[in-house]
Amino acid sequence: MRTYVLGDPTTLFAELPAELSLISDEAHLLRLLAEHDALIVADARRLVGAAASIAAALSSGLAAAVVVVGRAEDVNPALQAFPSLPTVHVSPISRLALERASRHARETAGGTAYLALEGQLARRNAELSELNKIGAALSAERDINRLLSLILDKSRQITAADAGSLYLVMRGEGEQPDALRFALAKNDSVSFEFQESRMPLDETSIAGYVAIHGTAVNVADAYELPAGTPYRISRSFDTKSGYRTKSMLVVPMRDHQGEIIGVIQLINKKRDAAARLKPSSVVETQVVSFDELDLDLVMSLASQAAVALVNTRLIEGIKALFESFVGASVTAIESRDPTTSGHSGRVAELTVGLARKIDGASTGLYAPVRFTSDQIQEIRYASLLHDFGKVGVREKVLVKAKKLFFGEMLALRQRFGVIRRTLEADYLRAKVACLEAGGSREELLALEADHAKKQAEIEVALDVISRSNEPSVLDGETAHALLELPSKSYLDVDGVTRPYITANELEALSIKRGSLSEQERVEIESHVTHTYRFLSQIPWTGEFARVPDIAFAHHEKLDGTGYPRRLKAEDIPLQSRMMTISDIFDALVAWDRPYKKAVPVEKALDILHDEAKQGKLDRELLQVFVEAKVFELTARRAAGNAGPQ
């Protein structure tokens, strides 16, 4: 076994060995520590002042036999610096003591190395297991900001790094150059306010260098970079905060196509992961260099993180695309029925607002109910698209404001114009005949009075028709007058006797409430079924699978009087019950419905309470809707120009 000496042999040995070689530098020492046939005699002072890499090697197990020698005052500092050393011999060491010490060192070196390898294997297994868990966590996270934080946290965790930063590569468009987005920074020892920023993508920064070349950089001391490196380390943060940046490990994040999309920068690997590096003097004893295992683990994690980030961005893009589709669908609905413009958005806002209140409730029937963020989004989509089926309803029925369609009322007015002209012509012919026959003044006045009476009857009939055409409940007098109109007749241009109004017109004008006939009401109500069929064609992902069912039930009532399926309470989803309350409230207070006037908020709430008392609406949900003032989210906008509510 060859003897190697770190230090001055004349001060270490009482009698110089026959053959010895001097250790030139720390790199030479590191190589020798891994050789099984080497005996290293080291000066305790030289070891205490050695680099962190030497300290890590001494504490992790040796292949070589090591004997440490020093002055009496060097013994305790050496033992404190290197807890794994069995002893430190006082110099100068005698030949006999050296033989015994070297024999003991040789005997223990193999066992120590074995234990060290066993420890490294255990660490490798533990880290790989942790890496698998991290990969699963990264794959499950879909919020980009939380994902970035998770990537940095896990990278620091598996390497015991005190601090770290995460950069994202921003590809320039057109004449814009590529850049690095400084997306996140964390530090366990120093509190600071992080501000996101951009920096040039070039070799002047270590992150830029790694992003450009795609190779990891491991720095033992950031303040003592090797000569010729193109990058530099900014000390501005250290200067302001009193921090000391020392060891660094910077790795690229490469996606499945090999493109570098970001950089993970880890700072100050600690012996004790729980230690705080304050004051900065602690860095010298606590911070060590990142090793090869750290590099392997972080490179593996960075690859997983890159794929997770790309997938999350892809999902975000799909979500944005779907949001655009939903927005376009709502626009399509409202373009067919401009009178309800904004209704879908307001119903969504009210229903989501109510769901959030239910989710946060600590008392009441629904206190145990909790909604995930996906379920809240599911409610929002169902609410936004709940009326999409209106695209399947005839437009003239959809926008019908009065009992007669516009064309029908126009034809009726033209008919009465013909009646007026017919009466006028009859009157004039009778007057001419009277004058030719030498009729008296009294006869002429009688003709004129009869003509005026008939014209007045026409005006009364038109007034009855106009009042009956409004979508309101008819008073008894108007209803009676309307029923008499079919018995009144006139001669058309062909001389055929016809009634003032037809049987179909009488049926439409006799609608007791609203503007729709029973057949038209059924057609309008069919929009719910159309909505369900349309939404069922969309390949919803699992978390949104109930959107069609929730929208399908928004017109159902708890007592079974709703439509289209006449469901009872137990069959109506909770989300649909919430939407029903929101839908009715917005329809009541909306000012832009041509077939009704806006109802003041207080009256609208009273109507909802009456519906709940009758067992049609969910009382518990309505109570939350009112007490939490959910209705205030949209009441002002829904009221629009209707005046004070």
Q: Which stretch of 79-88, 309-318, 373-382 has the lowest confidence by average pLDDT?
A: 79-88
Q: Write out pLDDT tens, residues 192-236.
A: 999 999 999 999 999 999 999 999 999 999 999 988 899 999 899
Predicted pLDDT at 129: 67
Q: Write out pLDDT tens, residues 265-281.
A: 999 999 888 999 998 88
Which pair of structure tokens corresponds to residue 203?
């070799």
Give residue 110's identity as a one-letter amino acid code.
G
Our CA dihedral for 59, 61, 66, 68, rounded to 10 degrees, sits at 20
Our CA dihedral for 182, 186, 192, 198, rounded to 10 degrees, sits at 0
The CA distance from 99 to 95, in Å, is 6
What is the β-pairing status of strands 260-270 and 287-288?
A: antiparallel
Which DSSP string do the residues of 439-465 spell out, in sequence order? --HHHHHHHHHHHHHHHHHHHHHHHHH
Which pair of structure tokens corresponds to residue 79?
């033992």
Question: Nearest to residue 390, comparing CAs of 238, 528, 494, 223?
Answer: 528
Eight-class DSSP state of 569: G
Average pLDDT over residues 39-55: 79
Question: Nearest to residue 448, comparing CAs of 423, 427, 462?
Answer: 427
Judge whether 611 and 371 are in contact, CB under 8 Å.
no
Residue with the larger pLDDT of the pair 63 and 124? 63
pLDDT of 157 > 80? The answer is yes
Binning pLDDT at 50, 70 and 90, where does residue 645 land?
Answer: very low
Percent of the chain with pLDDT over 90: 46
Q: For 337-391+519-639, which CATH class?
A: mainly alpha
Predicted pLDDT at 580: 97
Which pair of structure tokens corresponds to residue 630?
């959910």
Q: Could you tell me which residues come within 8 angstroms of residue 126 by beta carbon, excluding any fewer than 6 positions away?
A: none
Give residue 560's identity as a one-letter amino acid code.
G
* Residues across the chain: 645
CATH no., domain 141-313: 3.30.450.40
Average pLDDT over residues 231-242: 92
Q: Write out pLDDT tens, residues 555-594.
A: 999 999 999 999 999 999 999 999 999 999 999 998 756 5
The CA distance from 387 to 385, in Å, is 6
Which pair of structure tokens corresponds to residue 421?
């002209």
pLDDT of 142 > 50? The answer is yes
Q: Write out pLDDT tens, residues 84-135.
A: 778 889 999 998 888 888 888 877 765 555 445 555 556 566 666 666 677 6
What's the mean pLDDT when you consider all of the chain? 87
Beta bridge partners of 197: 182
The CA distance from 22 to 258, in Å, is 47
